[in-house]
Amino acid sequence: MANPLISVNGLTKSFKTFERREGVLGAFYNLFKREYREVMAVNKISFQIEEGEFIGYIGPNGAGKSTTIKMLTGILAPTSGDIKVAGLIPWKQRSRYVTQIGVVFGQRTQLWWDIAVIESFKLLAKIYEIPEAVFKQRLNRYSEILELDEFLHIPVRKLSLGQRMRCDLTASLLHQPKILFLDEPSIGLDVLAKSRIREFLKYLNETSHTTILLTTHDLDEIEKLCPRIILIDHGKKMYDGKLESLMDRCVLTQKIVMDYKTPTDFVLTPELIEKGLSQYQSLNPYQGEVLFNRNQLSASDAMSILFKQFPIRDVEVQETSIEDVIRDIYEGKLQLPGLEK
């Protein structure tokens, strides 16, 4: 079996932070004696990523996502643990390594602020030693897909956030990297800009087999792009596997909303409970909602039972969102024993 493209074993990063004393007297003491505490940003995380995978790397603020990305890109060296990406150690073999990766940080740009976008692209082509004919071919391709032509000759500082992000994506791909690291690439973007970038990333992964590691708080983005997720919290890995599997194991019940033909007094009998229905709530005389156990019943079976016993005009099965599941995990309402691979 071939070696994985990205291999992370026992990755740990800790920082020392200065503990400031309060008040004037505390500030005076700080001049002579400083106290520090150790903060564990990433705590013994391990995972492997194969070539061509599209991975969602998610967690709440302060979970350690950005710190992990900075170690994977070689910006930070780990306190302990090992990383190998495309056979290279990121922070030790920087000059060779940067030719293999593309990086986009949503809050920062790699473009030069006061010159036209096209000039930034040309400078990057020189840095990466991309032949002129190849550079033009790649730029034309990305310009067409991301619709860059209208602002290629405008200074970066005059671009909208969505325009700049499309240019940053292009800049990170001009040297055709094997791996693309994306840290909150859609932060602050409007719906149209998000959609355009999402479709481009999907196209890139499918056609070029570029391996993509995406961190984002936009769980809708994760659901539409990433078959596999790695979930971390407080620096520790909580789950690594298929998003679909996480939803199947964590979402034990589903909701059916019923519209009645006539005012109905729904009674949740022991027989219905035994079949897998639970927690009925009347919304009004003509509408109610009931939960069913997904391990006992399919949605179609649950609806069949309800239609046979009640005067139902219409039903709607409401899917539990990934956002609800992840929130419950973060808040400790949902435990994940044995889910981590």
Question: What is the pTM assigned to this prediction?
Answer: 0.80
Q: What is the pLDDT averaged over residues 22-32? A: 67
Q: What is the pLDDT averaged over residues 147-165? A: 92
**CA distances for 106 relative to 114, 123, 221, angstroms:** 19, 21, 15
> Range of 185's domain?
6-248
The pLDDT, as a whole number, for residue 341 is 43
Q: What is the pLDDT averaged over residues 305-323? A: 86
CB burial of 78-108 (b: ≥16 within 10 Å; e: otherwise) equals bbebebbbbebebbeeeeebbebbbbbbbee
Cα of first residue to Cα of last residue in the chain, in angstroms, is 19
Question: Token match 């495309």: residue?
Answer: 86
Domain match, 88 and 38 both: yes
Domain match, 264 and 122 both: no
Domain match, 160 and 293 both: no
pLDDT of 202 above 50 = yes
Domain match, 128 and 165 both: yes
* Amino acid symbol at 128: Y
**What percentage of residues in the chain have a pLDDT greater than 90?**
54
pLDDT digits (tens, 9 = 90+) for 282-303: 999 999 999 888 878 888 899 9
Domain match, 232 and 263 both: no
pLDDT of 1 above 70 = no
Which has more pLDDT, 228 or 109? 228
The pLDDT, as a whole number, for residue 336 is 65
Total tally of structural domains belonging to the chain: 2
Confidence of residue 337 (pLDDT cuts 50, 70, 90): low
3-state helix, strand, coil in the chain (%, to 5): 35, 30, 35
Confidence of residue 170 (pLDDT cuts 50, 70, 90): very high
Tokens of 204: 């890139």
Tokens of 88: 């290279």
Domain match, 168 and 35 both: yes
Is residue 207 in some structural domain?
Answer: yes
pLDDT of 239 above 80 = yes
Domain match, 11 and 84 both: yes
Is residue 14 in some structural domain?
Answer: yes
Domain match, 14 and 152 both: yes
Q: What is the mean pLDDT of the chain?
A: 88
186 DSSP assignment: T
Confidence of residue 317 (pLDDT cuts 50, 70, 90): confident
Alpha-carbon span 256 to 289, nearest angstrom: 6
